Amino acid sequence: MATLSTDELQQARVDLAASFRWAVRHGLHEGICNHFSVAVGDDQFLINAHGYHWSEITASNILLADYDGNIVEGDRPVEPTAFYIHSRVHKACPQAVCVMHTHMPYATALTLLEGGR
């Protein structure tokens, strides 16, 4: 994946922030838990900072991180589990530009059933 231009990076931030607010609007959130990310280059991704309720996430508080765990842009930490999940998925599956980690009730219930049925 080629590195995004400044305008493209800003639009990716806006789109990612909007996805959090839509998730809240549709009841698909757990407050500050869980995380979404968007790959924006060969070794960087946008991700939500730890500690914000999803309804509070804006383009300006989305973090830019690299696969080594460094915050390239932003002033808050990434929750360690979020970093681990998203960096590994983006590295292993570069075609997965957007990764959304949630614990939705029905999906969680399915994981508790033997054989997923």
| Domain chopping of the chain, boundaries | 6-116
Summarize pLDDT for 75-105 with one digit per residue, the tens: 999 999 999 999 999 999 999 999 998 877 7
The percent of residues in the chain predicted with pLDDT above 70, rounded, is: 95
User: 6-116: which CATH architecture?
Assistant: 3-Layer(aba) Sandwich (3.40)
42 or 14, higher pLDDT: 14
Q: Measuring CA to CA, which residue among 98, 59, 67, 96 is closest to residue 83?
A: 67
Please provide residue 103's backbone torsions phi and psi, each rounded to the nearest 5 degrees: -125, 60
